[in-house]
Chains A and B, each alone.
Chain A
Amino acid sequence: SQQGEEDPQALSIQEGENATMNCSYKTSINNLQWYRQNSGRGLVHLILIRSNEREKHSGRLRVTLDTSKKSSSLLITASRAADTASYFCATDPDTGGFKTIFGAGTRLFVKA
């Protein structure tokens, strides 16, 4: 079963603009992570936010987590053409097991 659902499915912006992607999930979690994937290659970890954190920054990335709404957002500021990729959220559910559940992803295209 898919827990993470990203929104939008696809996003096209101009270089220099900000990109915001959202993720919703269904069960309580230990943490939520965001990954980037360039065209069929391996995923690269971007940022991890724990269930007791509300916001986290890493360079041009800002992640928020709202556990009451079971949602997270990833903001990429001042986007670059090199940010063109698919972005996935992944959750570690707090259900007693050790699964990881990924969403279907948001495809971001940044036009130069």
Chain B
Amino acid sequence: EAQVTQNPRYLITVTGKKLTVTCSQNMNHEYMSWYRQDPGLGLRQIYYSMNVEVTDKGDVPEGYKVSRKEKRNFPLILESPSPNQTSLYFCASSLSRGPPYNEQFFGPGTRLTVL
């Protein structure tokens, strides 16, 4: 089944304790992206990747890191989480970003609480 998976689905942690949220897709998609969703703000893009070893900042990259060493995986790293990073995080992928343009497929989300 074609899908985007994220782990963990729920995480409660403390300020300053490094964590990684994994994202994997099995559709051979080139483009992958991370978003955070906060009430009343919709989804805001954190980082995206056009392909292996090609990443770029979205609108809210501060406090986050990403890597794209393999095409299928795009982990999100919080080196020193803070309470303002408490949010619902989504990973997404799409076949490519150029014409003819393709929709993004979303993972189920990771609910992160930083105490």
B-chain residues with CB within 8 Å of residue A43 when the two chains form the complex: 43, 90, 92, 104, 106
Asked if B42 and A45 make an inter-chain contact with CB atoms under 8 angstroms apart, the answer reads: no
Asked if B103 and A101 make an inter-chain contact with CB atoms under 8 angstroms apart, the answer reads: no
Cα–Cα distance between A2 and B59 once the two chains are bound (Å):
9
- Chain B at the A interface: SS class: strand
**Contact-size category for A:** 20 to 34
| Residue A33 CB within 8 A of the other chain | yes
**Contact-size category for B:** 20 to 34
Q: How far is the CB of A57 from chain B (nearest CB, A)?
A: 16
Residue of B nearest to A105 (CB): B42
Cα–Cα distance between A105 and B37 once the two chains are bound (Å):
11
Residue of A nearest to B91 (CB): A42
Asked if A104 and B40 make an inter-chain contact with CB atoms under 8 angstroms apart, the answer reads: yes
Q: Which segment of B11-19, B44-52, B70-78 sits at the interface?
A: B44-52
A-chain residues with CB within 8 Å of residue B35 when the two chains form the complex: 102
